[in-house]
Amino acid sequence: MNDKIRIGIVGYGNVGKGVELSIAQNDDMQLVAVFTRRDPSGIHTQTPGVKVVKIEEAASMKDQIDVMILCGGSATDLPEMGPQFAKMFNTIDSFDTHAKIPEYFAHMDAAAKEGDNLSIISVGWDPGMFSLNRTYAEAILPQGSHYTFWGKGVSQGHSDAIRRIDGVQNAIQYTIPVPAAVEAARSGSEPVLTTRQKHTRECFVVLKPGADAEKVKEQIVTMPNYFDEYDTTVHFISEEEFKRDHTAMPHGGFVIRSGKTHNGEHTHVIEYSVKLDSNPEFTASILVCYARAAYRMRKAGQTGAKSVFDVAPGLISPKSAQELRATML
């Protein structure tokens, strides 16, 4: 057991639980402890022998964990927790507030360097694998256009926004790519697509007793930034229907780039897509293989903050460079 990469999980929500499941699929890794803000006695992990520890006690386990996977949210958890942990551990996180990535990177870089650790930020599928695919495709086809479509899947941000409306008891919002727009992007004709043309939004809402459905619907479809630029449909359902039909967490998406060579005569289309039964488990699986890379990069002497752009692909694979060349190239 001692030569396995020793992993800690911070936060035991959907992603944290997915990380635990993914570690069990990787023979070179071992889950050592789960760290929580809750009462540890209330948390029961799946893996035998795993400690559940108060988050405040993490510092005492510095010598027992090689990489800490931070499964907190980007809004409030990671901006605070990220740099704290980066001072003590190598870390992986899925920070996804796109506009604040440069600022977060700077904080993580300073903290990781202070602690002589390595932190890979914004790991997941978007940001993450989608970012990589945009970058590979743009480097290959510098003259071209790229398109990202998300869905069909749940947007937590949009679901939360609906839940904040007066009279709403529960709500979920699905982002749906418009098939005609996906086809147009794939065609290589490099169409200009508006926000409205690319995605539709579908909402399932449980009302509080006595709430005015028409008023709620109006507030949703006109909500600035969230819904006003989209064609949105709103369905009112019962709490029972909600629980029966809307608790799974599927998602998916497409990154398409089309570009030209030979003075515009030849068209090439590169597409990357994912279709996921469980968004948090897929994200968790990506976090786990990047934990392997963080461990190896730190062992090779690197420190500070990194992004997926800095990680050579071979480092995330359990296979050696020699094995990869012989079997995967």
* Interface residue list for its own copies (CB under 8 A): 18, 21-22, 25-26, 98, 101-102, 105, 122, 127, 129, 131-136, 138-143, 186, 188, 261-263, 265-278, 281-282, 284-286, 289, 292, 307-314, 316-319, 321-322, 324-326, 328-329
Instruction: Give the shortest CB-187-to-its own copies separation in angstroms.
Output: 10
Q: Please, are residues 292 and 5 in contact by the beta-carbon 8 Å criterion?
A: yes
* Residue placing its CB nearer to its own copies in the complex, 230 or 304: 304
What is the Cα 63 distance to its own chain's centre? 28
**Nearest CA to 306 among 317, 293, 289?**
293
The helix (run of H) or strand (run of E) holding residue 261 is: strand 251-261
* Residue placing its CB nearer to its own copies in the complex, 211 or 324: 324
Instruction: Give the shortest CB-188-to-its own copies separation in angstroms.
Output: 8
* Residue placing its CB nearer to its own copies in the complex, 49 or 313: 313
Instruction: Give the shortest CB-152-to-its own copies separation in angstroms.
Output: 14
Instruction: Give the shortest CB-125-to-its own copies separation in angstroms.
Output: 9
Instruction: Give the shortest CB-315-to-its own copies separation in angstroms.
Output: 8
Rounded Cα distance between 291 and 119, Å, is 9
Instruction: Tell me the three state secondary structure of residue 145.
Output: strand
* Residue placing its CB nearer to its own copies in the complex, 61 or 112: 112
Instruction: Give the shortest CB-67-to-its own copies separation in angstroms.
Output: 15
Q: Please, are residues 235 and 203 in contact by the beta-carbon 8 Å criterion?
A: yes
- For 311, counting Cβ atoms within 10 Å of its Cβ (0-12 exposed, 13-18 middle, 19+ buried), the class is buried
Tokens of 177: 């790519």
Instruction: Give the shortest CB-185-to-its own copies separation in angstroms.
Output: 12
The helix, strand and coil proportions of the chain, stated in percent and rounded to the nearest 5, come to 40, 25, 30
**Which residues contact residue 327 at a Cβ distance below 8 angstroms, ignoring those fewer than 6 apart?**
319
* Residue placing its CB nearer to its own copies in the complex, 54 or 325: 325
> β-strand 199-207 against 168-177: which pairing, if any?
antiparallel
CA distances from 123 to 269, 287, 296, 310 (A): 25, 6, 16, 12
Rounded Cα distance between 84 and 59, Å, is 10
* Residue placing its CB nearer to its own copies in the complex, 41 or 327: 327
> What angle is formed at CA 132 by the lines to CA 126 and CA 133, rounded to 5 degrees?
95
* Residue placing its CB nearer to its own copies in the complex, 26 or 197: 26
Q: Please, are residues 121 and 70 in contact by the beta-carbon 8 Å criterion?
A: no
Instruction: Give the shortest CB-194-to-its own copies separation in angstroms.
Output: 21
Q: What is the DSSP letter of 28?
A: T
* Residue placing its CB nearer to its own copies in the complex, 162 or 308: 308
